[in-house]
């Protein structure tokens, strides 16, 4: 049988960056090995699981392009299956009903602590006779189901971390279900992995302590073992557990902020894994081709927003113009999309200055409407309004002589060269740029004139002159 991996989120929270990285590594491993990537929704926690969280997971997976094989498996639809295996374990006396109250368990806990021992369940309900068990069950006494934990050393070879050992007696008889139709995580995961024929379990290192427990459940049910790989944690820049302070609550928030999936996949892949020759920019195909769990590091990965922004900007700068406009659509006013020619002309000037799509409209709005600005913006350094007025008038006269067809930055520069000798370069190009953009910072004036064309360029110069004139008349 070929490789089969699963991503198994619990829909009790939004699709986090860490979960997205786990899903990606599973998907990359499956695609590199020519295997299958399965999606399982672990929604047995009825109180905390919601449809909203499940939809957030699915939307996030689709956004970053992680397609799964077959249909989605939902644990809430498999209760009959879990009940069958739970009854099997109880019938074989490998698991038992526990009727201990919270008060009794707390007393046991404190007793172990007072003796300097690691707290665990004593196993006293495992000694109940069958008649006692049935009597308690019929009376409606609350109970849980615990597995008999053998005293042994559970050993497995983690693909990333190597040989790992756990002494199982330290766990005590763990709870595997609240009832025959209420399985807990460790039990349901084992059953599902077996039924789904999962060969490799790739998950975060926070699940490391679950592995020996799941191995014991596998043995009790007679299931074959699987291969395990535990991924390093993702830490914030402060080297503490990654929080919302540094990263969005959901991977979908990155989409809403204007990051693109190509950059997100590239960024996530480098959180704990590195390719040969330590390159930074890799296509999805290149990552799939090179991906290996043996190149996943043991040490924690650190979230670096600067790298994410750099990657996103790099992908945006190199994106085909038509595709760029397509992905830009949710981030700009609809009327801008109707002015296709102007949008295409503005594109190369603006996208060089953004790191994410959400920044585009704030940097490009002056292309689509005449900006408001103070007349003082037109003045170059220690210049005067009179000098600026004279410069702008001569700029307009010079540009008027260029035909609309030949109105490009080379022609504009040639027309303005004589004026730079008369006024100085700053007193020519600064007021021209300010008149066109209304901004302190913007693309160069030559690039702007070419983008706007002759008619709009002259129109904005005239508006600048009117702004100065009206202010003078008010004095």
The model's pLDDT over 47-75, given as tens digits with 9 standing for 90+, comes to 899 999 999 999 999 999 999 999 999 99
What SS3 class is residue 81?
helix
Angle, to 10 degrees, between the axis of helix 321-328 and the axis of helix 340-350? 100
Reply yes or no on whether the pLDDT at 474 is more than 90: no
Is a pLDDT exceeding 90 seen at residue 382? no
Cα angle 307, 53, 287; round to 5: 35
Residue 245 has pLDDT above 80, yes or no: no
User: Which is it for strands 227-231 and 200-204: parallel, antiparallel or unpaired?
Assistant: parallel
Residues 6+ apart with CB under 8 A from 326: none
Supply angle C-alpha 38, 252, 366, rounded to 5: 145
Element holding 470 (H helix, E strand)? helix 445-473
**Rounded CA gap, 9 and 109, in Å?**
31
How high is the pLDDT of residue 332?
96
DSSP letter for each residue of 28-59: HHHHHHT-EEEEEE----TTT--HHHHHHHHH
pLDDT at 306: 96
Q: CA torsion 199→202→205→207, rounded to 10°?
A: -60
Facing residues of 182 across strands? Answer: 179
- Predicted TM-score (pTM) of the model is 0.92
How confident is the model over 247-270, as pLDDT tens digits?
A: 767 999 999 999 999 999 999 999
Please tell me the distance from the alpha carbon of residue 238 to that of residue 272, in angstroms, as a whole number. Answer: 17
Kindly calculate the radius of gyration of the chain based on its CA atoms and give it in whole angstroms. 33
Contacts for 394 with CB less than 8 Å, ≥ 6 apart: 419, 422, 423
Characterize the bridge pairing of strands 144-147 and 153-158: unpaired
Q: Is the pLDDT of residue 1 over 90?
A: no
Residue range 115-170, pLDDT digits in tens: 888 899 999 999 999 999 999 999 999 999 999 999 999 999 999 999 999 999 89
Catalytic-labelled residue, pool 244, 323, 329, 469: 244
* C-beta of residue 34 within 8 angstroms of C-beta of residue 3: yes
* 175-196 per-position pLDDT tens digit: 999 999 999 999 999 999 999 9
When mean pLDDT is compared across 102-111, 254-263, 303-312, 408-417, the lowest value belongs to: 102-111
The lowest-confidence range among 76-85, 243-252, 267-276 is 243-252
Q: Which CATH topology does 375-473 take?
A: Arc Repressor Mutant, subunit A (1.10.10)
Is residue 244 among the annotated active site residues? yes
Which sequence spans correspond to the domains of the chain? 321-368, 375-473
- CA 44 to CA 105: how far, in whole Å? 25
Among 24-38, 39-53, 96-110, 226-240, top mean pLDDT goes to 24-38
The two beta strands, 175-179 and 144-147, are antiparallel
What are 232-241's pLDDT values in tens digits? 999 988 888 8
Q: What is the DSSP letter of 249?
A: S
pLDDT of residue 472: 61
- Report percent pLDDT > 70 for the chain: 98
Distance CA 258, CA 381 (A): 36
- pLDDT reading at 475 higher than 60: no
Q: Check if the beta carbon of residue 336 is closer than 8 Å to that of residue 368.
A: yes
Cα separation, 347 vs 329, in Å, equals: 13
Query: Alpha-carbon distance 44 to 46, whole Å?
Result: 6
Q: What confidence category does residue 473 fall into, taking pLDDT thresholds of 50, 70 and 90? A: low
pLDDT band at 470 (very low <50, low <70, confident <90, very high): confident
Q: Are 189 and 226 in contact (CB under 8 A)?
A: no
pLDDT number for residue 241: 83
* Residue 28 burial class via C-beta count within 10 angstroms: exposed 0-12, middle 13-18, buried 19 and up: buried
Q: Any idea how long the chain is?
A: 475
Per the listing, tokens 């030559």 go with: 446
Kind of pairing, strands 4-7 and 36-41?
parallel
425-445, pLDDT tens digit by residue?
A: 999 999 999 999 999 999 999
């Amino acid at each position: 049988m070929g490789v089969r991996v699963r991503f198994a989120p619990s829909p009790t929270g939004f699709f986090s960056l860490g979960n997205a990285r786990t899903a990606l590594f599973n998907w990359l491993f499956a695609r590199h090995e020519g295997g299958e990537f399965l999606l399982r929704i672990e929604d047995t926690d009825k109180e905390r699981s919601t449809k909203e969280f499940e939809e957030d997971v699915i939307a996030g997976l689709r956004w970053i392009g992680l397609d799964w094989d077959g249909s989605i498996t939902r644990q809430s639809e498999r209760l009959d299956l879990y009940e069958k295996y739970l009854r099997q374990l109880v019938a074989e006396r490998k698991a038992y009903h526990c009727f201990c109250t919270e008060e009794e368990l707390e007393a046991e806990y404190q007793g172990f602590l007072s003796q300097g021992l690691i707290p665990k369940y004593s196993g006293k309900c495992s000694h109940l006779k069958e008649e006692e068990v049935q009597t308690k069950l019929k009376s409606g006494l609350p109970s849980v189901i615990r597995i008999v934990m053998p005293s042994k050393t559970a050993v497995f070879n983690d693909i990333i971390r190597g040989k790992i050992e756990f002494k199982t007696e330290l766990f005590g008889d763990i709870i595997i279900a609240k009832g025959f139709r209420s399985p807990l995580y460790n039990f349901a995961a084992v059953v599902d992995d077996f039924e789904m024929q999962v060969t490799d379990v790739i998950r975060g290192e926070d699940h490391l302590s679950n592995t020996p427990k799941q191995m014991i459940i596998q043995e009790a049910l007679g299931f074959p073992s699987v291969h395990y790989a535990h991924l390093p944690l993702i830490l914030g820049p402060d080297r503490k557990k990654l929080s919302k302070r540094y990263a969005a609550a959901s991977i979908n928030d990155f989409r809403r902020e204007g990051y693109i999936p190509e950059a997100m996949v590239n960024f996530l892949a480098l959180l704990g894994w590195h390719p040969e020759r330590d390159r930074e920019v890799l296509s999805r195909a290149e990552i799939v081709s090179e991906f290996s769990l043996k190149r996943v590091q043991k040490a924690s990965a650190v979230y670096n927003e600067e790298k994410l922004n750099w990657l996103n900007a790099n992908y945006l700068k190199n994106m085909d113009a038509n595709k760029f406009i397509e992905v830009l659509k949710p981030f700009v006013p609809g009327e801008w999309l109707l002015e296709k020619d102007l949008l295409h002309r503005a594109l190369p000037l603006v996208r060089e200055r953004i790191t994410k799509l959400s920044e585009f409209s704030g940097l490009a709005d002056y292309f689509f409407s005449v900006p408001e600005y103070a007349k003082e913006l037109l003045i170059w350094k220690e210049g005067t309004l009179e000098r600026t007025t004279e410069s702008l008038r001569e700029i307009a006269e010079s540009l008027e002589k260029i035909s609309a067809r030949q109105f490009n930055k080379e022609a504009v520069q040639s027309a303005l060269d004589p004026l730079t000798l008369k006024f100085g370069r700053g007193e020519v190009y600064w007021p021209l740029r300010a008149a066109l953009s209304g901004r302190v910072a913007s693309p160069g004036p030559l690039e702007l004139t070419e983008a706007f064309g002759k008619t709009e360029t002259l129109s904005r110069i005239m508006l600048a002159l009117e702004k100065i004139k009206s202010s003078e008349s008010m004095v």
